[in-house]
A and B are shown apart, each in its own frame.
Chain A
Amino acid sequence: MWRTTSVVRSARSACLKACATCAISLLSVSASAQSAAWPTERPPQPLPARAITFPPYEVQTLPNGLQVVVVMHHEQPAVTMRLLVRAGTSSDQREKLGLAHLAASLLDQGTTTKSAQEMNDAVDFIGGAMGAGAGTDLTFVNMVVMKDSFDTGLRMLSDMARQPAFATAEVERQRQQMLSGQTVSLEDPGYIANSVFDRLVYGFHPYGMPENGTPQTIAALSRADLQAFHARFFMPNNAILAIVGDVTADEAFTAAKKVFGDWEKHDLPVQTFVGPPDPTRRVIVVNKPDAVQTEVRVGHLGISRTHPDYMAVNLAIRILGGEGSNRLHQVLRTERGLTYGAQANMDTLKETGDFEAETNTRTEATGEVLRLIVDEFWRMQRERVGDRELDGAKAYLTGSFPLTIEKPESIAMQVVNALFYGLPLAELQNFRERVNAVTPDDIQRVAKELLRPDRLSVVLVGNSAAFASQLRGAGFGSFEAVELGDLDLTTANFKRAAVKAQQDAGGPGRSGGAGRSGGFEGWGVAHDVNRAATLNYQLAPLASRPPADPRPEDAPKALALLDRAIAAKGGLEKLRGIKTIVARQTLVSLDSDRAATSETTNYLQYPDHFRVESPMLIQAFDGAQAWLKDVRGVHDGGEPMARDSRLVMRRDVVSLLLAAKDGTLTPRLLPDVKDPDGRVTHTLELSASDLNPIVLYIDPESGQIGKRLFTADAPGRPLIEEQFFDYREVDGVQVSFRATQKVGNLSVERRAIDVKINTPIDPAMFKRPVS
């Protein structure tokens, strides 16, 4: 939920030393008439310091390897539980990016014993809260309950982690959410800047890849992938459980043993990653012409959490841009008012990490801000840090330590982090001593060893036309520019392959909104044609194909279901009697921008002729040659379009049913699908060695096809979902008068205006015109 009105001021501080040099006091005018009477004085002395110890916690390892952390905290009658599994987005393979996120998002969406709705209702009703998520190196499930629901809560946590259902309907729902979420994220300049920076710094190491996946990889993720991810990593010897709150240690450990004791231990998978590249001086400018600010990221590869110089590096980066002493904030905000806030961060992950300065600034100040940031990296090496500046950073870290142990969850997270990274637990007790041991020499040594100001990676997201000319002045004469719409984090040059290929091909460009039209109950031609014209691709099995072989005893059931569908469509005789279909229809394309409406007429002649007419474009196939005609003339679609056209005709629903009946397609029964209301839908898969499987969703009552799913033969194998509504009878055949097709987050709706069956069609209409 968005907060409505609150505006927060940044807490980033300026250093004392610099303020002492300000001359502002000479100019200032006191606003208070009482000021003269107000004493001139130094700040008061502190009270006697109170003792600080790391709060009590207990750790046990169960026989199955599960590490359990308990932090007792009895003020509020609540218990928080968190189970952390040591696998996150960095475990995603290149072609399965987004898998860990999709899997995590499904952990609280149903188990093998409770549907998503039942689970949510149960948790909401007891006034609990649950959540799940994936980080770079870990996945977690959370549960908060009132004390009297502790046992219930722990059992639900266990079910979420151990028995997720990955129900098909929930998978599709979360997939859509991920895809839609990306549409919004890709408008967020900060998100874009961070993603590009990670890719730039980590290269094709998993830390550099888009952790939320790409529309193509998300579309291709299957239930089997999710189950494999879960089976591979979710085991007690790869997990940490934290129980925090109003329980005793005995209660907590007893409950943990009771609930998690029977979780079976397995061998841990071995994972190997490609190494990240050496730091390289490289600038990526992402052009977002409507931006009023530029997002700026500057930095390079850093260290892992277990690096022996962790604490000295931590302090060095804080001096550059952290709390207690923030040079970037001082230079960019306090002295020049160029930004709302600036900071430097270091990510220290399991394998490696990065150093990153980040800020945002008004477009016209981009060059100056970049120059100033780069100079601050140099200054870390050039000048030895002063005692007072280092003391400020140290004082912040040591002083703020008690603030980090106020909430029981933050206490638990410190223990869990130590266990996760394999750090000695004693480090929790001697944190302040370790901070105070760092000297100015240490800072200079690590700055010289680990900072590479000559090899900075730079990302700028903004209106590049307005600042590109400033970059030379900031020391970056050459840079790579990418249009936001062409950005692809999975390619070496950050540009979508299709962009390049299309330019190279020099052939017909995209047909535009009006051209997004196609065959009858299997349109989507324009999509495929456009891509097919420029790219070659391999056929691959359907994303959602279940791993198991069909059970022989299901074969008669599959045939019976096929017969049901044929009967509901109008019966075998009727379907076999269809020679042509002419349909006039309105297509409403609901892209992310606007609703584009166009009227098309489709002419189908079975088995393999079609012609689709829309105002700007005609596409046709005569069984051998595919062609299209637009304002510039007639073009040969070539073999890719011809192949695609054949597929379109094969995927036509009437063709499919008849082919399955004739035995040229193999029908296979898939498990029934149950929707949230408990309504069951039968599913039938039709496939052949040269046709990607198509899954039909068949209403058990009417026998009508309500939906179908198949993967497109296009790069990334996007999943196409078509839903059919408003069946009406035309000459004894049931025809859907309203249908929607979704590909990723693109959606087209078709509304039939007029459908005629077996109207004679002039054969010349399918033939390519001479010119």
Chain B
Amino acid sequence: MLAAALLVSGVFTAATQPLRAASRPPKLQYEITSLPNGLTVVLSEDHSTPIVHVQLVYHVGSKNEKPGRTGFAHLFEHLMFKGSKNVQPEAHTSMLASVGGQSNAYTTDDETVFWETVPSQYLPLTLWLEADRMATLRIDKDTFANERDVVKEERRMRVDNQPYGRLNEIIYDQAFTVHPYKHATIGSMEDLQAASVEDVRDFYRTFYVPVNATMVIVGDFDSAQALQLVNTYMGRVPKSDRAVPRDIPQEPPQTKEKRVTLQEPWPLPAVVVGYHVIKDGNPDSYPLHIAAKVLSDGQTSRIYKKLVYEKQMAVAAFGNANLIEDPNLFYAVAIVQPGHTTEEVADALIVELDRLKTEPITDHELQRSKNQFARDYIMGRESNQQKAGQLSHAVVIHHDIKTADGEFEIFQNITVADVQRVAKTYFRPENRLVLTLMPSGKAGAQ
């Protein structure tokens, strides 16, 4: 019945001729379909090793959190390991581990991803476990309170107890005013404490439903048999009776430069220069990726070469185009080398970003960036998990599975003019955030 709905990847025609034919990686082979309850399913066979990877992506992340409930999406991800009708608390992980499998989950601003890699004969167990918790998660007060403490401990470990651990949190808090990207995925301690069991139930019924989920399976299986198993276990999860809300407040354009200086108990000062940019998949996003590579990928990239290598004014420096589902940031960070001021380092970063506007990047830099992109592309498709990640990202964030392969050609066709154009569009002073983070006295005493 479902076989009729399959779309085989070979159907669409090859895009433009790549510039370096020798290194064009093979295209991913896959089938995509959806079940009657709304679950999207992608299957991609790879028989090189007798293992299978299952990735279940719920299209909900920290940007779906309501004010006062930051950290909730990630806390909920933890609760998904706390048992369901047929599965004891924590048994999800231990049942898979006992057959040699690995499983884990992570939460981003946009998605919550659950994954398993198991010896291939355990595909039925894996699907059964995912279906059980999608349909019948146990939610009780004690488990919830205990897990909330675990998440708080995670926050202390990852963020509060690490030098520069709060860097991203600070950047985003300063850069955004209303969009939920303002707050970190891990959330605040106060909000975590305020979360209630009722919040949990509501969140579950709203977002953890088949129509909001995409399951990608990559590995050593037979597609017809796998689809049948998916239908058997995932197919019986009831369809949701409510719409998934997408009412996320959008960030108004920034109209004048923002400069902020803060103190943090870190060993060395840090400087951040950031600009608001467009979302992932927008045509401008691809030249921005190239700009990030020119600035920051490798030891011949401009920021590293200028600030770390030549002037030795920074201990570390890098740029990052954080192109995700909603418009986000392009930013550069430098940790200031003792003996230099934050002002000169901030100026040096801005000079490098401005150079992208005033002069085209060289053909050499463009070709280098494209070759680096091809490398990342190839190295990012080695494991089943990586392939599944590429496919799920294309489906969930781009709403177009063809981008999992098609972006290769888009990148290879970018010109130096494209890069200069996007630099002029986004690297404007009024669109800029300059953040200076000075070590506070506490760390300095040592």
Listed A/B pairs (23) with beta-carbon separation below 8 Å: A7-B106, A9-B81, A16-B95, A20-B88, A28-B140, A32-B135, A32-B205, A43-B125, A46-B121, A50-B120, A77-B23, A124-B301, A184-B163, A187-B443, A188-B162, A337-B149, A360-B153, A362-B156, A402-B119, A408-B382, A594-B441, A594-B444, A595-B341
Q: CB of B390 within 8 A of chain A?
A: no
Scan B140-156; emit 1 where CB is below 8 A from any A CB, else 0. 11110011011011101
B331's nearest neighbour on chain A, judged by CB, is A4
Q: What's the nearest-Cβ distance from chain A to residue B275, in Å?
A: 15
- A487 to B269: give the CA distance in the assembly, Å: 23
Structural contact, B98 and A406, CB atoms closer than 8 A: no
Structural contact, B150 and A337, CB atoms closer than 8 A: yes
Q: CB of B22 within 8 A of chain A?
A: yes
Q: What's the nearest-Cβ distance from chain A to residue B91, in Å?
A: 5
With A360-B161, A590-B338 known, 11 other A-B pairs at CB within 8 A are: A11-B97, A11-B103, A32-B136, A49-B50, A121-B368, A392-B98, A399-B99, A399-B100, A593-B445, A746-B338, A747-B339
The count of residues in chain B whose C-beta lies closer than 8 Å to any C-beta of chain A is 138
- A39 to B84: give the CA distance in the assembly, Å: 12
Q: What's the nearest-Cβ distance from chain B to residue A484, in Å?
A: 6
Structural contact, B338 and A747, CB atoms closer than 8 A: yes
- Provide the residues of chain A in CB contact with B164, threshold 8 Å: 2, 184
Q: CB of A580 within 8 A of chain B?
A: no
- A76 to B89: give the CA distance in the assembly, Å: 40
Q: Say which residue of B101, B125, B370 sits within 8 Å of A400 (CB atoms).
A: B101
Scan B419-446; emit 1 where CB is below 8 A from any A CB, else 0. 0000000000000000000110111111
Structural contact, A129 and B135, CB atoms closer than 8 A: no
- Provide the residues of chain A in CB contact with B86, threshold 8 Å: 39-43
Q: What's the nearest-Cβ distance from chain A to residue B203, in Å?
A: 10
Q: What's the nearest-Cβ distance from chain A to residue B307, in Å?
A: 13
- Take A16-B98, A144-B379, A395-B100 as given contacts and tell me if A35 and B85 are in contact as well, using a CB distance cutoff of 8 Å: yes
Q: CB of B160 within 8 A of chain A?
A: yes
**Which residues from chain A sit less than 8 Å from chain B, CB to CB?**
1-2, 4-16, 19-20, 22, 24-25, 27-32, 34-35, 38-52, 55, 75-78, 116-117, 120-121, 123-129, 144, 146-148, 173, 176-177, 180-181, 183-184, 186-189, 290-293, 323-324, 333-334, 337-340, 360-362, 392, 395-403, 405-408, 484-485, 590-595, 676-677, 740, 742, 745-747, 749
Structural contact, B339 and A742, CB atoms closer than 8 A: yes
Structural contact, A7 and B186, CB atoms closer than 8 A: yes
Scan B265-279; emit 1 where CB is below 8 A from any A CB, else 0. 111100000000000
- Take A13-B90, A591-B338 as given contacts and tell me if A176 and B312 are in contact as well, using a CB distance cutoff of 8 Å: yes
- Provide the residues of chain A in CB contact with B62, threshold 8 Å: 5
A675's nearest neighbour on chain B, judged by CB, is B310
- Take A38-B135, A405-B49 as given contacts and tell me if A120 and B337 are in contact as well, using a CB distance cutoff of 8 Å: no
Q: Say which residue of A13, A126, A324, A677 sits within 8 Å of B371 (CB atoms).
A: A126
B92's nearest neighbour on chain A, judged by CB, is A13
Structural contact, A593 and B443, CB atoms closer than 8 A: yes
- Provide the residues of chain A in CB contact with B157, threshold 8 Å: 293, 340, 360
Q: CB of B196 within 8 A of chain A?
A: no
Structural contact, B25 and A76, CB atoms closer than 8 A: yes
Structural contact, A592 and B378, CB atoms closer than 8 A: no
- Provide the residues of chain A in CB contact with B185, threshold 8 Å: 5-7
- Provide the residues of chain B in CB contact with A50, threshold 8 Å: 50, 119-121, 220
- A591 to B122: give the CA distance in the assembly, Å: 57
| Segment 162-207 of B: residues with Cβ below 8 Å from A | 162-164, 167-168, 172, 184-186, 200-201, 204-205
- A147 to B26: give the CA distance in the assembly, Å: 13
Q: Say which residue of B98, B125, B156 sits within 8 Å of A395 (CB atoms).
A: B98
Q: What's the nearest-Cβ distance from chain B to residue A461, in Å?
A: 10
- A20 to B90: give the CA distance in the assembly, Å: 11
Structural contact, B135 and A34, CB atoms closer than 8 A: yes
The 9 closest A-B pairs by CB, nearest first: A399-B100, A593-B444, A127-B371, A747-B339, A28-B138, A400-B100, A50-B50, A337-B149, A14-B90
A185's nearest neighbour on chain B, judged by CB, is B163
B94's nearest neighbour on chain A, judged by CB, is A13
- Provide the residues of chain B in CB contact with A397, threshold 8 Å: 100
Q: Say which residue of B77, B119, B168, B266 sits within 8 Å of A399 (CB atoms).
A: B119
- Provide the residues of chain B in CB contact with A14, threshold 8 Å: 90-91, 93-94
Q: CB of B397 within 8 A of chain A?
A: no
Structural contact, B146 and A337, CB atoms closer than 8 A: yes
Q: What's the nearest-Cβ distance from chain B to residue A612, in Å?
A: 21
Q: Say which residue of B83, B125, B156, B339 sits within 8 Å of A25 (CB atoms).
A: B83
Q: What's the nearest-Cβ distance from chain B to residue A642, in Å?
A: 30
